Amino acid sequence: MIFKTRFFKWFLVLIILLPLAYFVLAHKSDHLAYSTAKVRIEHTANGYQLLKNNKPFVIKGAATDSLFLKELSQAGANTIRVYDTLGIKQILDDAYANNLSVMIDLPIQRCLRELCDFYEDETFIESNINTFTKFVSRYKDHPALLMWVLGNEIKFPKRSESKNFYSFFNRLVRSIRNSDPNHPLTTAISNSSKTQITRIALWCEPLDAIGFNSFGGLGNMENDLSKTSLLWKGPFIITEWGINGPWEAAAYTKWGAQIEDNSTKKAEQYVERYQRYINLKNGRFLGDIFFYWGKKQERTHTWYSTFLDDSTMTQTALEMTNIWKQSEVDIDLPRIKYLLIEEKGANKSLVFQPETSHDIELVLEDNTGDYTLIEWEILPENWYYRWHDVEKRPTTLFNYVSSNSLTTTFKTPKKEGPYRIFCAIKNKNGQAATTNIPFYVLKPNQKL
């Protein structure tokens, strides 16, 4: 009897110490003390509510390349959405150190124009399910984790064209839920597409929420949600929102280059869209993800970037700080009206001979903020890109810095093709306003 009692005591000790020893050894290089964060969505009398560690949590976040997390936290945000799982351990640690929660995208293979042939391959399906489930199991206990995003704009196909896709997706949902019951599952679709919502509601294993990536279509969201409410009345997250993307540009040159608004106008658009479409009083709304915090090449290196290459902050980042902190701090930045070449704007579709000199002028609004530096550079148009691929910034061909001149002269490149000249005007506080203007260079001796 004594032997059995001692054996039982030692058995209890081993049960307690072995997992602890494993945890210490497995995480001996970690500098953070982890405690699992449990996240769930509850349906209350007032609607849906996201809870983290049993406390209400409204997502105030940004899509990011995981840079500038300290600045994001200081700006008043509480969440990041990341698309690249490489280095995710460090991203989670850095987010946790900055009091930020993380929405992690799982890169599910997209169907291309309703073609989903790879989902006919059982080996492909099994491999993907196993890979994603193992990944989830590895990081499910990180305290920074908020939820899993199953694919970004994967475009749920017609069931008649790919039943196997839904078999794969539903098996994946069940597998991840079994592995990690403590974090919600969502997916992010393009706009608040009624077709996509319907297909998810009819043919998918129920998700905890649906995410909407919406830019120019933000104004349609309320109507889309109303029209699909008979099929789906669940909670939603605006998983990306912002100004119109390059694919939604309001104006183009004659050779098809998108005309980009200057940073002053873009910042105003962000504020206006937040106030009209994002600051929702809707019992189904769980929060939003601003697009984009950091540096991003999307047709140009300034379209969505809130920071420049030298980490200078733009007006949009300052406006978002006011939004997240619910403050009204004055922003003393140069405010841009126009960028003109030979007194003509981008809407004139400017075409020049090669290796010719031209005057360019940056026109500011009256009573604009102080500035100390103006930088000019010419880049080839980012002409060759593939949708959803990571774009590369073209190589700068011309670089010129002026201390205070709003006008300068530049020489067009020798090689025929589309180009842009970019201008950044900076103040002493490490803040900048940006703009650019596209132009086209003809072949030598070709007539205008």
User: What is the rounded average pLDDT of the residues 378-385?
Assistant: 88
- Is residue 448 very low, low, confident or very high in pLDDT (cuts 50, 70, 90)? low
39-241 and 336-441, same CATH topology: no
pLDDT of residue 190: 95
Is the per-residue pLDDT at 50 higher than 60? yes
User: What is the rounded average pLDDT of the residues 357-380?
Assistant: 92
- Is residue 103 very low, low, confident or very high in pLDDT (cuts 50, 70, 90)? very high
User: What is the rounded average pLDDT of the residues 84-110?
Assistant: 95
User: What is the rounded average pLDDT of the residues 400-406?
Assistant: 82
Indicate the domain borders of the chain. 39-241, 336-441
Name the nearest CA neighbour of 84 among 388, 392, 393, 395: 388
Q: Is the dihedral of CA 369, 320, 422, 243 positive or negative?
A: negative
Of the candidate CATH numbers 1.10.150.120, 3.40.50.460, 2.60.40.1220, 3.30.200.20, the domain formed by 336-441 belongs to 2.60.40.1220
- Token pair recorded at residue 369: 């903020």
C-alpha distance from residue 50 to each of 306, 371, 389 (Å): 28, 44, 32
User: What is the rounded average pLDDT of the residues 134-154?
Assistant: 96
The angle formed by the CA atoms of residues 367, 370 and 376, to the nearest 5 degrees, is 110
User: What is the rounded average pLDDT of the residues 207-213?
Assistant: 98
Mean confidence (pLDDT) of the chain: 89
The superfamily (CATH) of domain 39-241 is Glycosidases (3.20.20.80)
Sorted by sequence, the CB contacts under 8 Å of residue 54 that are 6+ apart come out as 38
pLDDT of residue 114: 54
For 30-49, what is each residue's pLDDT tens digit? Answer: 333 344 569 999 999 889 99
pLDDT of residue 120: 84
- Residue type, position 160, single letter: S
Least confident of 4-18, 220-234, 276-290, 347-361: 4-18
Least confident of 146-155, 208-217, 293-302, 327-336: 327-336
Is the per-residue pLDDT at 25 higher than 80? no
Is the per-residue pLDDT at 390 higher than 90? no
